[in-house]
A and B are shown apart, each in its own frame.
Chain A
Amino acid sequence: MTTTDMPRPVDADPGRVVSKKRPRRAGGGGLRRAVPATTLLWIMACLYGLPVLWFILSSLKPASDLFSYPLTVIPHHPTLSGYLTAWRSANFSQYFINTTIVCVITTILTVGVSCCTGYALAKYDNKWLKVFFICILATTMLPSEVMLAPEFLVVRNLGLYNSFAGIILPAVLTATGCFMFRQFFLTVPDELVEAARIDGARELAIFLRIMVPLSRPIMLTLAILSFQWRWNDYIWPLLMLNDPDKFTVQIGIQSIVGAQNINWSVLLGASVISMIPLIVIFLVFQRYVMSADINAGLKD
């Protein structure tokens, strides 16, 4: 868990002055304050958790029980048939492989390219670097959804229509990624670079040998974010891909929703399967997301 970042006292107890450490037992009026705060926190957590829980529990019900009244919270006859049907039918396993390929390649490229750009923006001072910084800033105002048609034509003219490259390449440049690395490299002392230069290291060697290893935590954070973005992308793959063998998971799920009669059993199974990779990645690496000062990437 994220034990590294202690909750900071928001409403410090008037009776207890300047104790920087987190009190294990809330003394004095602590209990009086703990009850409302904890209650409110958990009511809200329940509101956020219950939809997901209900969704997952429903997906374990057999198709015949899904709509049988009265609705039951716990499935009487838990089954994985929805998952199995979803996985076997409708090419879902193929979609899964496609999405994984796209996500992994895009994430690697995004992390690499953002690291290079972020370093250049942080450690070199040039007029045109500043211009490029503003250009990247502008891309946050111009998401690809805004330029769907022209961007589609560009990618088509590049001969990338109906290929994974057509989904991967336009997604590699992300402002958040560049800013996260820039912000990180700004915190690395310039003396480190100067010392390496005095020792005769070449510029790119300084970057590759010293800076890249230093930035490993940021790489992981961005990798998780990027994987999430690409795994969940919908509209761009939908436009780019024509061949059902190349569809991604999100398109697959939407094609089940878009059907005349929704097969809820398969839909629930497919949706839950599609959630699993991200939730597993998140639970394993959560401290890289939770403790990350993501603000740093977006500010400035």
Chain B
Amino acid sequence: MTKRASDVSASPPRRRSSYTLAPLVLIAANVVLFALFFVWPAVIGLVYSFTNYTGVGAFQFVGLDNYHNLFGDSTFYDALTRTLLYAVLFVPLNFALSLLAANLVVNKHAKGASVARVVFFIPWLLSPIVVGVLWRWLFGENFGLVNYVIEKLGGGAVPWQSNADLSLLVVVFAASWAWTGFTMLLFIAAIKNVPVSYYEAASLDGAGPWRQFISITLPSIAPTSFIVILLNTINAMKEYPVFVALNNGGPGTSNNLLVQYIYETGFKRGQIGYASAASFVLMLILMAVAIIQLIVNRRVENR
């Protein structure tokens, strides 16, 4: 905008220009939003995590007390371990299901793949709340279809709601089911980018489909796999709405995950400072996950 075309035409090989005003105008809105809704909350969150702020009125700095209390708080530990357990179950299950779905959909031998792809994708369109409601309806202890079928087949009613571990398992199923569509799209894009000639060469050498999958597809889509694991780990760590609709973090408080813990302490009990400290612990976990991912990814790519 500031420099006219004549400057540029003098040096045609330059691929990008070094204009400053135009890009500044273009990113201005996002810079403002970034400052307002990411930098500002992050800074005051860090500050409040060292205070006893309750959301209104004056507050005092209490040093590391919040963090100290947090690590002595068994409710926080329960929420943290439950969240990690959920992530450990959800991420691999979703990964396997999505990869299977993607491979079946791109398989030229499978008939009706385009319809099936839509079927796989529809659960992703449902909101986490509706997903929770839907699986609550399926897995209701006294009225659900699943228990009905189990009883018809001669089994006893399974306590999907009143057993904490089974209840968590239902959420894992529900979330994996709901997220398959999106993850599958990522995998489909990656699988389609694998050069066809690799498979042709492999089949000439007599490699079967399974062998080709292990030796060609999996290594070729490794970068996408890392992104999928990273995104899904983040999604799992911040999960809340599916739980709230499916079992409300229950039975009791056994399935309260970290975000629910932060929500309850911060907004129901008004301990903003304490909740901010919990938020920062969650943030550190996410950053650690991201950094580990980056290191592993780099090491694999450099191999």
Given A120-B23, A154-B36: A45 touches B125 (CB 8 Å cut-off):
no
Q: How far is the CA of A137 from the CA of B209 in the complex (A)?
A: 37
B130 contact from A123, A178, A253, Cβ within 8 A: A253
Contact across chains for A51 and B138 when beta carbons are under 8 A apart: yes
Given A126-B20, A153-B272, A264-B137: A239 touches B267 (CB 8 Å cut-off):
yes
Q: Type the 1/0 row for B17-36, where 1 means its CB is closer than 8 Å to any CB of A.
A: 11111110111011101101
A231 contact from B22, B108, B127, B287, Cβ within 8 A: B127
Interface of A is mostly: helix
Q: How far is the CA of A5 from the CA of B129 in the complex (A)?
A: 33
Chain B residues within 8 Å of A9, by CB? 108, 196, 199
- Shortest B156–chain A CB gap in Å is 16
A135 close to B (CB within 8 Å): yes
A284 close to B (CB within 8 Å): no
Query: In chain B between 3 and 23, which residues have their CB closer than 8 angstroms to a CB of chain A?
Result: 4-5, 8-9, 12, 15-23
B42 contact from A147, A158, A275, A278, Cβ within 8 A: A147
Query: In chain A between 112 and 157, which residues have their CB closer than 8 angstroms to a CB of chain B?
Result: 113-114, 116-117, 119-121, 123-126, 129, 132, 135-136, 138-155
Total contacting residues, chain B, CB less than 8 A: 119
Q: How far is the CA of A129 from the CA of B145 in the complex (A)?
A: 54
Contact across chains for B125 and A278 when beta carbons are under 8 A apart: yes
Given A2-B114, A113-B33, A299-B223: A140 touches B234 (CB 8 Å cut-off):
yes
Size class of A's contact patch?
A: 35 or more
Q: How far is the CA of A5 from the CA of B199 in the complex (A)?
A: 18
Chain B residues within 8 Å of A14, by CB? 203-204, 206
- Shortest A55–chain B CB gap in Å is 5
Interface of B is mostly: helix
Contact across chains for A11 and B133 when beta carbons are under 8 A apart: no
B279 close to A (CB within 8 Å): yes
**Interface stretch (choices B71-79, B86-94, B157-165, B237-245):** B237-245
A187 close to B (CB within 8 Å): no
Contact across chains for B148 and A10 when beta carbons are under 8 A apart: no
B134 contact from A52, A234, A283, Cβ within 8 A: A52
Q: How far is the CA of A113 from the CA of B186 in the complex (A)?
A: 24
Q: Type the 1/0 row for A32-62, where 1 means its CB is closer than 8 Å to any CB of B.
A: 0110011011101100110110110010000
B122 close to A (CB within 8 Å): yes
| CB<8 Å pairs between A and B, sample of 13 | A7-B110, A9-B108, A48-B180, A116-B26, A117-B27, A135-B38, A147-B41, A150-B48, A173-B33, A197-B17, A202-B1, A289-B121, A298-B186
> Which residues of A are in contact with B by a Cβ distance under 8 Å?
1-3, 5, 7-14, 17-18, 20, 22-23, 26, 30, 33-34, 37-38, 40-42, 44-45, 48-49, 51-52, 54-55, 58, 66-67, 69-71, 113-114, 116-117, 119-121, 123-126, 129, 132, 135-136, 138-155, 158, 169-170, 172-173, 178, 190, 194, 197-204, 207, 228, 231-232, 234-235, 239, 250, 253-254, 257-258, 264, 267-268, 271, 274-275, 278-279, 282-283, 286, 289-290, 292-296, 298-299
